[in-house]
Structure 1
Amino acid sequence: MTKTRLNVDIYSDIACPWCFIGKRRFEKAVAALPFGENIDVKWHAFQLDPSAPEHFEGSGADYFVKEQGMPAEQIEGMLEHVSAQAAAEGLSFDMASVRPTNSFTALRLLALAKERDLGAAMKEALLSAHFEKGVDTGSRQALQRIADSVGLDPLESAEVLAGEKYAEAVRADGIRGRELGVSGVPFFVLEDRYGISGAQPSEVFEQALRQVWDEISAETESLKLISSVSPDGEACGPEGCS
């Protein structure tokens, strides 16, 4: 019997600009495919910088200079490049207003949203808040407002924000990702067969999805080790964003 669903696991962080850009490019590819409605996406947490402070007084550029030791000129060029790529995908990044923060609490809240079938809405809301609206996504008050806006139960989300619920789920996602060889995000795993690294152009996603769809439609049973179907795309890693 022909399989009619294509599973895609996406590892990403809400504090990663290329994760937002890659999300848009991937969505564009899915929308262009005749079998797009048969693609099941599952988001996984992959925290890039667990050591990041919960709050940082200063801009994103300040953070990379002070905490990562990156030259100011390199950071300026990086932020300009990211903003231009985001704009090409219809995103309005405001990199000057981005509030550097530790994403762990936001990822725990996202885990709750996924359990309540609100993961897609929460993922979008968190990314937009962080990169387009200058929201401090490390602030529990701000996260509560985002949770309310997507329809999460206020008491339930408040309980998550006040404690450590879903901490192990977030850590487990990161461990699984590293076992698969993920070192930067976004990272896309198609049917546990192929990995796509970085925010590839939509055409690359579309080609890869068609390839895997053809394989599973033909009832190809031999699973392959996860391997890259393209050169690495632009992504964020522990040392910063390319």
Structure 2
Amino acid sequence: MKVEIWSDVVCPFCYIGKRKFENALKDFAHRDEVEVLWHSFELTPDFEPIPGESIHESLAKKKGVSAEEGRKMSDYMTTAAKEVGLDYQFDKTIPANTFLAHQLIHLGAHHGRQDATKERLLAAYYLEGQNIGDLDTLVKLGTEVGLEAAESRAALTAGTYAEAVRLDEYHAQQIGVRGVPFFVFEDKYAVSGAQPSELFAEVLEKVYDEFKPTKPALTMVANGDACGPEGCEV
């Protein structure tokens, strides 16, 4: 059974949604038959970080609110993350463009290390305050999940997987993805947002029971907390 997930590395609900889905998958009797594929989605493709600007200021600017309101939104997401065991460190978070990070995830997929690469980048950004828009940082993080430093540097410098990122994003447009995380089960059912683990568990059971090789139109199961080009709805 195939589960495809569109998400961005700088989407707080994407990390939360990843944990909620993983918790459901952990208890799914047929988890060994589930193939999870990560797809690229850039919330702000043209984002250019301003040196010294905090994530609170960056978020406030994107949402058109005060820096204090930006901090309150960060606090809300920090609380939501703690519910799934994630300790967000927004005061250390460095705003970043994620185009290179998505390319590294595709390189990880090429070597069978896609989920590990995705997880490492999310942790680096939200828990450790590392700059995931920096080439040297990405190369270092890649080595921590088993990727060769020389290959990572060459691929990121040459844009080897740039087209793969754009193809993911084009596919997202074609199926109507407006916010992430966005989960597609066997090209049949879609779940938008960081839904409760119980809902993911229900969908896993439903899709497994109905498993067929056909590809009908998507049926939206639920909408929830997600991030879009204009920011995260909280």
Which TM-score bucket, shorter chain as reference?
A: over 0.9
Q: 2:119 — aligned with what?
A: 124
Give the match for residue 156 of structure 1: 151
Give the equivalent residue in structure 2 for 1:25: 20
State the TM-score, normalizing by the size of structure 1.
Answer: 0.92
**2:220 alignment counterpart:** 228
> What is the alpha-carbon distance in structure 1 between the residues aligned to residue 221 and residue 124 of structure 2?
32
Alignment partners' CA distance in 1, 2:122 and 2:46: 20
Unaligned runs of 5+ in 2: none
Q: Is the 8 A contact 1:187 1:198 kept in 2?
A: yes
1:55 Cα deviation after fit: 5.3
Matches within 5 A, 1:79-228: 79-216=74-211, 220=212, 223-228=215-220
In structure 2, what is the equivalent of residue 240 of structure 1? Answer: 231
TM-score normalized by the length of structure 2? 0.95
The counterpart of 2:32, out of the listed 31, 37, 43, is 37
Three-state SS of the structure 2 residue aligned to 1:152 is: coil
SS in 2 for 1:97: coil
Partners of 1:128 and 1:104 lie apart in 2 by: 17
* Separation of aligned partners in 2, 1:7 and 1:81: 32
Q: What is the CA distance between 1:185 and its match in structure 2?
A: 0.5
| Secondary structure class of the residue paired with 2:165 | helix
The separation in 2 between residues aligned to 1:179 and 1:223, in whole angstroms, is 14
Deviations 1:192-222 (A, max 9, x none): 0011000001001001111111111xxx566
Work out the CA distance in 2 between the residues paired with 1:145 and 1:55: 23
* 1:125–1:146 Cα contact (<8 Å) kept: yes
Q: Secondary structure at the match of 1:42?
A: strand
Q: Write the distance in 2 (CA, Å) between the matches of 1:202 and 1:142.
A: 32
Instruction: Name the SS for the 2:38 alignment partner.
Output: strand
| Percent identity (aligned) | 38
The SS at the match of 1:225 is: coil
**AA matched with 2:30:** F
Provide structure 1 residue ranges, at least 5 long, that are not aligned to the other structure: 1-5
When the two chains are superposed, the root-mean-square deviation of aligned CA atoms in Å is 1.4
Deviation at 1:137, TM superposition (A): 0.5
For the residue of structure 2 that corresponds to 1:99, the secondary structure is coil
